[in-house]
Every structure is written in C-alpha cells, then in structure tokens.
Amino acid sequence: MPAMPPVHVQEAFTSALSLFKAGKLDDALAGFTACIEREPRSHQLFDARAATLERLGMHKEALKDARKVVELSPEQPKGYIRAARLFLRLGKMERSIDACNMAEERLPTFEKRRRVELAAIRAEAIAAMEARDTALTSLMCHMQKLPYELLSIVFAEWMEEDIAAPVIASHVCHRWRETALSISRLWSTLILTRHKPELKAATWLKRSHSRCTDLRIRNDFSLAADRQEWFTDLIRIVGHGNPIRLDLNIPQTLRDTIFGNLPAPAVDKLQELSLHVSLKNPQGSSSFSLPAFTSLRCLELGGYVRVPTELASRTLEVLVLKSIWPAAAPAAMYRRLISDLPNLRTLSLKSPIPSSGTDVSGDPDEALVLPNLESMELLGPGNWLSFAENMEVPSLQALRMDNCSRTNAAELLSTLKMNDSALTEISLSACGLPERGLREALPRFTNLNKLQIVRSAELSNALIEDLAEKPLWPQLQHVNFSHSPRITGSPLLRLVRSHLPPPDTEPIDIDIGEAKPVQTKILPIKSMIIDGCPKVDHELAQKMAILVSDFSCVYMTKDQSTKRRRGDP
C-alpha cells in the first residue's frame, strides 16, 4: 500500500470528499483535481475523481481516471470494476466483459457484494450485445447468415478471382473469420515478399495444416545469410505437400536452393511453373537445368534462365518462353521443343539473342503439327518466318505479334497452315507491315472479331476503307489502330456506320415458293481505340464516341498537352 499523502493534501482530500457526499460535484471535482496536481501518484485520488466524473456523466474522462487507477495499483480490483461499468455506459460491451473477468481474478473470496455487482454488469453487457445484434440483423449482409457449406463455396470461388480473399474475409466479422480460418484450402497459397516472410509462412502453414499447394515468391523478397536454413526447411515442407503451382521471381541463388531441395514426388506432381530469374545476385550455378517435370500443364520461363532443349511433360497446354539467355538458332530450338507437345493450347515466345548471330529453322521440309493450338504470341525481332515454315495449326484462334520488325506479318499469315474460319483475333504491334500484302491476306479470315494494328507508320486509310466497304467481316467488333499517324477520321466513321443495324423497314410480301436469301448478321463495333492518331478530326471523334460504347482517342500525352497549353516548343 503506497504511503498516505501529506497532511495538507489529506485535509484537502477530506474536504473534497465531504463536498462529494453533499452532492456538490463541481466543487468536489475541483478539489480532487487540486489534490492530484500535488500528489499525482495516489490511486485513491484518481479513484475519487473518477467517481465524481461518473456522477457528472462524463464517462470518457472517468474512464481515463479508472485506467490510471489500474496503472498505479494493478493488484486492486476497484479500478477494473469501475472500468467495466464505464465501458458498458460507453457501449463497449466486449471490453466491459473483459474488465469484469480481470476484476474477478483480483477479488477476495469474501467480497460477495462486489461479485454480485460484477455479475450484474456482465449480464447487462451480454443483454446489450444481443439487443445490438438483433437490431442490426436487418441491416447486415445476408451473406453472414449463409450456412457454413455455402459460405465456404463462396469463399473458394472468390479466391479464384482475388488471391487475398481469405485475408479480407477474415476481417469482416466473427462468423466470416471462423469460417475462413476453418477452411485449410483457402490458405494453401503462400506469397512471400520482403514484409515479414517468416511470420507469414508460419501463419499460412498453420492455417493450411502444412499443405501449401501454391508457392509464390515476389521479386522484392530477400533472404539474409543467416536465414538460409529456415528457407531450406520451408521449401522441404512445401515440397512434401506436393505443390501444384510454383510462381517464382527470384535471383539465381534462390533458384538453386528451391529446385535443389524439392523432393522427387513434388517434381513429378507439379502442374504449373512460372520462373523468372534475375541477376540481382549472380552467384548461382551456371550449369543449372530444370528438373524433369512430368506432369506440367503450364510452363512460363523468363529473365536469365536457359530454355531447356526438351520437355519431359507431353501434357503441356501452356508454354510461355521469354528468356533473354542467348541461344544458338532460336527458331530451330523452338520448333524442336514444341514438336512433341500435341496438347499445346497457348504458345508465347520471345526471341532470345542468337549466340551465333544467325538464326536458322533447321529442316524446312519437316512438318510441325499443333492440332490443339488456339493462341500464339510472337515477341521480338526473331526469324519467325522460318519458325512458322510448314507449321499446321488448324485450331488457331488468336495470333499476336509484338515488335517483330524483321517479320512480314502478311507473309507469316500466308505461311501458317491454318483453318481461316477459326481465326478470330489478329494483333500486330510494331511489326513489318506492307499494307498491300495485309489487305490481300485479311479477306481470308471472315470470322475476324478483333483486329489490332498499332504503332504502324505504314497503315493508311486504304485498309480501313476495305473494312468499311467490303462486307467480309460481319463479326468484327473490336478494333485498335493506335499510334498510326497516317489514318484519318472519315474512313473510321464509315467503318463504325457500316456495322450499325439497318433502319426498320416495312415487311415485304414474299410468295411461299420464293427462295429467301440468307443474310449474315452484322455485329456492331463495341470498342475502338485510336490513341496517338493526330489526323483524326475532333468532331468525327465525338460522333464515333456516341456510336461506340468503348471509344478512346487520346492523341497527346499529358506532358505534350501541358507544353501545348503553355506554348512551349
């Protein structure tokens, strides 16, 4: 028990206490405050002032003094009892119940009156919580009242769209948190960044019961020298859970650690691998090669990683190769690599630097058949004509070329052996584009739905006039001619109008025996992007914006427009 205040403070305290008992609360409050200024370490003075403030209805100020009583004398129950009562008055029922529990722990067994008081406070707090929940029921989201089975399905589908869904769901309410934490598969995706990776890994492994099916490491993740053992143990734990997907943006040293510690069953069962290797810390093994993954369905390689000469998995459906590692004759290497992948559906290739300075395709007479390929993307100035020589792609639906400055796009379309009616998308960006050849090639693809020709100095109004005047592309709905400085607005407007539905006409009586011509339905243009086209007239652009739901015509950058307003050169 702390020493009593000096006599003069004791006299002032007695006087203030007499005022409190007489109901003169304002005078008593002033007296207790004066005593506290002279004796700031007395819990009795703070408790007396808290009682006065509580009588005056100043609950927040009274709670501050009650907390001060607990701080100065944590073994005394009176501060907790008053805090429990004040929390209840302030509508903080959960905090009130916690204060009741702490007060009961400190009450002697013979304090029956105070135990009854605490029981009454707790009962009132519980009743207030139930009344609050009942009042909010009509205002709350009905999702909260879904049964566990349906809520778990919703969370699983939500996670397919947003990987952070379980974290968000666990912060909505108690019901959602309990449901999210009880579904281990929601926590099977572990993403490591520079922010507390060890704590996050431990939390996710606990919630997923050490079943990590998807490991993702971002490029800002760094590993200190003294944490190598922890990371190796983590990879082994993840590997024993047979992960389905690895998404790794890592330096060479982490690459060697990860693939050097993956157990054989994990290598055999892995289905998706995305590997981008950087040169932040070039200390890895130069002779590294990928393990023989036998069940891969999706493989993405980028950065400083050597493209394998062959793949062990014949079930591969998605192949993305964007390596910058020099390779001898990349076109021939790519042809050999995909020649044994009959299930390939999506192919994206970036031309690496030929180590010999030249790129040849190998045997041009050898047929390359990809019966299920639906999407092909070619990036960089590679020898893509040699790559596509004698290639059969009957199911190809989308062809994208970006920065293929050495490849004639029209010649490539003629080289590929495809089903013309299957192709629905052509996207050409900064490619070799003789307009005449492209105008001759496009009429083959009558089911074209999306056409993009961007960053082309050769594109003129002639091709757009063909699109507007010839009824060969009734399914065309999405066009993009951005950064084509030669095109103007008039042919673009005619293109939009040519896809508008015809005006309503009166029905014409037709004899029963007369044959009715079959008409192909022309679909309207849904999106048109013509950014960076300075010759497009502003008034025509406004008309097209009315007719096209998704229209963009930004012909100057923000810096350019600022300079123009200022009159800067």
The one-letter amino acid at 382:
G
- The yes-or-no verdict on residue 140 having pLDDT over 60 is no
pLDDT grade, residue 478 (50/70/90)? very high
Residue 525 has pLDDT above 90, yes or no: yes
Instruction: Report the CATH fold assignment for 7-139.
Output: 1.25.40
Bigger pLDDT: 365 vs 193: 193
Helix (H, G, I), strand (E, B) or coil at 443: helix
Lowest mean pLDDT among 298-312, 356-370, 506-520: 506-520
CB atoms closer than 10 angstroms to residue 157: 10
pLDDT value at position 365?
66
Higher confidence at residue 239 or residue 502? 239
pLDDT > 50? residue 564: yes
Q: 270-274, 342-346, 451-455, 519-523: which has the minimum mean pLDDT?
A: 519-523
Residue 226, φ and ψ in degrees, nearest 5: -85, 0
Task: Return d(Cα 410, Cα 347) in angstroms, integer.
Answer: 20
**Rounded (10°) angle between helices 228-240 and 252-261:** 40
Place 561 in a pLDDT band, splitting at 50, 70 and 90: low
Predicted confidence at residue 449, as pLDDT, reads 95
Summarised one tens digit per residue, pLDDT across range 50-61 is: 999 998 989 999
In this prediction, residues 210-239 reach a mean pLDDT of: 86
Residue 418 confidence (pLDDT) above 50: yes
The neighbouring-strand residues paired with 400 are: 377, 427
pLDDT value at 330 more than 50: yes
If one counts every other C-beta atom within 10 angstroms of the C-beta of residue 287, the result is 6
What is the chain's mean pLDDT, rounded? Answer: 85
pLDDT tops 80 at residue 509 = no
Distance CA 159, CA 383 (A): 41
Residue 284 pLDDT: 58
- How far is the C-alpha of 150 from the C-alpha of 13, rounded, in Å? 63
Of 424 and 460, which is predicted with more confidence?
424
Best CA proximity match to 474, nearest among 439, 523, 424: 523
Q: State the alpha helices, DSSP H only, in 137-227.
A: 148-161, 165-169, 174-182, 197-207
* pLDDT for 307 beyond 90: no
Beta-sheet strand order (sheet of 417-418): 368-369, 391-393, 417-418
Res. 256 pLDDT band, cuts 50 70 90: confident
pLDDT of 438 above 50: yes
Please spell the DSSP secondary structure of 7-37, one letter per residue: HHHHHHHHHHHHHHHTT-HHHHHHHHHHHHH
CA–CA distance, 104 with 117 (Å, rounded to integer): 11
Q: In which band, very low, low, confident or very high, does the pLDDT at 5 lie, cut at 50, 70 and 90?
A: very low
Helical residues (DSSP H) of 377-434, grouped into ranges: 384-387, 409-415
Under the banding of pLDDT at 50, 70 and 90, the label for residue 568 is: low
pLDDT-above-90 percentage for the chain? 41
Joined tokens for residue 424: 């629905």
Of 144, 170, 156, 163, which Cα lies nearest the Cα of 218? 163
Tell me, what's the pLDDT at 375? 96
The DSSP element (H or E) to which 65 belongs, if any, is helix 59-72
C-alpha 269: how far from chain center? 26
The alpha carbon of 209 is separated from its chain's Cα centroid by a whole number of angstroms, namely 24
Query: What digits encode the pLDDT tens for the residues 241-255?
Result: 778 899 999 888 888
The secondary structure of 491-555 as a DSSP string is: HHHHHHHHTSPPPP-------TTSPPPP-PPPPPP-EEE-TT-TTS-HHHHHHHHHH-SEEE---
Structure confidence at residue 305 (pLDDT): 84
**396 and 422 Cβ atoms separated by less than 8 Å:** yes
- Cα–Cα distance between 440 and 443 in angstroms, integer? 7
Mean pLDDT of 360-370: 72
Return the C-alpha torsion angle 461, 464, 469, 475, nearest 10: 180
Gap between the Cα atoms of 567 and 569, Å rounded: 6
Task: Look at 366 and 369; give whichever has higher pLDDT.
Answer: 369
| Residues 174, 153: Cα–Cα separation, whole Å | 18
By the 8 A CB rule, do 532 and 482 touch?
A: yes
Contact between residue 318 and residue 349 where contact means Cβ atoms under 8 Å apart: no
In this prediction, residues 201-213 reach a mean pLDDT of: 90
Q: Which of 201, 206, 203, 259 is nearest to 234 (CA)?
A: 201
Domain-wise residue ranges, the chain: 7-139, 141-185
At 348, the pLDDT band (50, 70, 90 cuts) reads very high
What does the pLDDT read at residue 556?
A: 67
Q: What is the DSSP letter of 327?
A: B
* pLDDT attached to residue 359: 59
Rounded to an integer, the average pLDDT of 132-145 is 63
Instruction: Give residue 241's pLDDT.
Output: 77
